[in-house]
Amino acid sequence: MNWTALTSVAVLTASAAAVVVVQPGESLEQIAQRTLGDAKAAEELKALNGLTDDPVPAGTTLTLPGPERARALSALVAARNAVAQSGSRANGSKASETLSKAERLFRAAKYAASAAAADETWKLLSGATQQNTRFAIRVADGETRVTSKSGQAVRVEKDGVARPVHPGQTITVKAMSLAAPTPLSPADLARVVVKTNEKGVGSVALTWQAVTGAARYALEIVSLEQPPGKPVALNVDRPEAHVALPAGKYAWTVRAVPGEGERSDPSTRRSFELSVEPLKLEVTRPHWK
């Protein structure tokens, strides 16, 4: 493992580019909130897809940012913290200008360039540090513990997420990190019809891609109806679940859970509308006289 004063841990993961289909009446801000959790990211979607107008016609397929966005965002957060705590340190003004450049590049969906500019902000501030940077690393029991003792903050990065560790602070990084499951079916915003049977309402099947190292999966289903009902939480040992639900609109996410250690981040949230086909009763005349 290679540790430096600026980057302590780097464990990067890759995934295929994701897409989303614009729904009727849906704006870029709503799509950004639904897919990225931030309505302000609509500017990124517009730049990433070469769009000039909003709203976008329904049925349009938009490309979503890949993992490079999370890495750039982590670098930006660390750079913002460094600038905020720099005070009157030399190069502080130049570092602020470089951070502003990184922010502009991020909004333009130029994530690699944004991350590079954010890292340059770190270099400007670290070059002005007079006190030697000292930190300690301890690896044991599947964990890495980093303690910053003096000088500039140490940036610890794992799975594309960076955290600054300032003098006097300690951070512990788990050795194992599971990838978030990828939902397979039903498709996002799908309409699912299930039939009733003699035993009651039939079940809807939810499936996702298996995750290496997962011992089980934690599934959560929430109702989108008003008022919302109590979430349904299930633990299953296979990448699928069959759940009996009443008719309505739902959203679901799933996490991979290892035998030991922390569970993964939640999967991409998917929603579906469930309708129930009533049981058909057949009445026949008796054959007795």
pLDDT digits (tens, 9 = 90+) for 149-181: 776 677 777 655 667 777 777 877 766 578 899
Q: How far apart are CA 192 and CA 179, in angstroms?
A: 28
**How many other C-beta atoms lie within 10 A of the C-beta of residue 284?**
5
* Side chain identity, residue 239: P
pLDDT at residue 280 in the model: 64
Of the two residues 267 and 15, the one the predictor is more confident about is 267
pLDDT of residue 267: 94
Helix, strand, coil tally for the chain in percent (to 5) = 25, 30, 45
**Cβ contact 99:80 at 8 Å:** yes
- Domains (range + CATH), the chain: 19-130 (no CATH), 183-277 (2.60.40.10)
pLDDT band per the 50, 70, 90 thresholds, residue 282: low
Per DSSP, the three-state class of 281 is: coil
Whether 265 shows a pLDDT value over 70: the answer reads yes
Checking if the pLDDT of 3 tops 60, the result is no
Name the 3-class secondary structure at 32. helix
The pLDDT tens digits for 191-206 are: 998 887 665 566 899 9
Please tell me the predicted confidence (pLDDT) of residue 5: 35
Cα separation, 76 vs 121, whole angstroms:
9
* Percent of the chain's residues with pLDDT above 70: 77
In the chain, the N- to C-terminal Cα span, in Å, equals: 89
pTM above 0.75, yes or no: no
Q: Which residues contact 84 (CB under 8 A, 6 or more apart)?
A: none
Q: Which of 3-7, 135-139, 152-156, 251-255 has the weakest average pLDDT?
A: 3-7
Q: What is the pLDDT of residue 74?
A: 83
Are 128 and 82 in contact by the 8 Å Cβ rule? The answer is no
* Cβ neighbour number for residue 8 with a 10 Å cutoff: 24
Nearest alpha-carbon partner for 254 in 232, 243, 242, 269: 269
Give me the mean pLDDT over the 183-189 stretch. Answer: 93
- Please state, in angstroms and rounded to a whole number, the distance separating the CA atoms of residues 154 and 150: 10
Per-position DSSP letters for 78-115, written without gaps between them:
HHHHHHHTTTT-TTHHHHHHHHHHHHHHHHTT-HHHHH
**Beta bridge pairs of residue 161:** 158
pLDDT tops 80 at residue 232:
yes
Strands 270-277 and 190-197: parallel
Check whether 82 has a pLDDT greater than 90: no
CA 265 to chain centre: 7
Phi-psi map region of 261: left, alpha, beta (phi>0 left; psi -120 to 50 alpha): left
